[in-house]
Chains A and B, each alone.
Chain A
């Protein structure tokens, strides 16, 4: 099929899809309406279990099993990337050369690094109270480490980032989630049921039963996963070269 016919086909199909989508949109409930039966029930359940951030309650309590599926997807994707981006037989590892970094870049990157790392950990720790949580904080914390790559060079980053350790951490965090679920199964009668731990005082760090534990496990998993993923991509760009030339 040549380009022209293909474009025509896309145009016809796209026009049909657009018409169907518009027709569907016109039938949807009005934007901003007041009827949200699931939302109201989720808010009610979240408050009953002393979790101030309703979204954390939905993710780590009401839909905790779905989140297990979600972190399994993340874990599988990390494994897939590690396999796809491995060093093949006709490639070898070149030692990265030390790089010159402009002084202001170095200064500000190194000054922001601890702040960014602390912000990431704060967002993870307060997942059940304020906006954020394991997923968001994990990404922030993992990205913070990579400021070293900007501020110093790749060798410095490699020294503080043993990828093997983060791969183990990734697996451990997923296991921690599973173990918490199993503890609920043994102690409370059903998998990932948030009835095992006391709910604590509303709006304090220890409130919400198992929500903070699962949240922390997810935070660790996401942080490790992002570090491992970025490490694999950076290896491809910086270190791994083909045998014949570059």
Chain B
């Protein structure tokens, strides 16, 4: 069970985010839910890279080869993921600001008839 548990946690976070997105009544809440979906990928990536009894792959204070280290490639990918996630959130929130100004609402259901 412990062998796959972190992967299942990632799947659960992703589905929770999807549920929030689908039932959202507020665009700001929806942007938050998208961030939740994205954080599932952080958990998945870091879980894939973990190695038992390993430490961080930084050799400024440990002797190279003296201890096992976790996979640095997935950690770098997670960093990329975080940066892209932050930019997407910023851009979406900017869009929400404009929608709120133009249409006076942030409820996606009320925006179904989009005006120009």
- Residues of A whose CB lies within 8 Å of any CB of B are 3, 6-7, 10, 14, 17-18, 21-22, 25-26, 28-34, 36, 38-39, 42-43, 46-47, 52-55, 57-59, 63, 66-67, 70, 73-74, 77-78, 80-81, 84-85, 129-131, 133, 135, 203, 222, 229, 232-233, 236, 242
Asked if B87 and A77 sit within 8 Å, CB to CB, the answer is: yes
Across-interface contacts of A58 in B (CB, < 8 A)? 72-73, 75-76
Asked if B57 and A43 sit within 8 Å, CB to CB, the answer is: yes
Asked if A31 and B64 sit within 8 Å, CB to CB, the answer is: no
Across-interface contacts of A130 in B (CB, < 8 A)? 58, 60
Residues 85-116 of chain B: 1 if any A CB is under 8 Å from the residue's CB, otherwise 0? 00110110111011001000000010000000
Across-interface contacts of A73 in B (CB, < 8 A)? 83-84, 87
Across-interface contacts of A242 in B (CB, < 8 A)? 101
Interface of B is mostly: helix
Asked if B11 and A39 sit within 8 Å, CB to CB, the answer is: no
Asked if B76 and A25 sit within 8 Å, CB to CB, the answer is: no
- 17 further A-B pairs in the complex, CB-CB below 8 A; given A14-B19, A84-B91, A130-B58: A10-B19, A14-B15, A28-B48, A29-B48, A31-B5, A33-B51, A39-B72, A42-B71, A43-B64, A53-B60, A55-B57, A58-B76, A59-B79, A70-B80, A131-B56, A133-B79, A135-B79
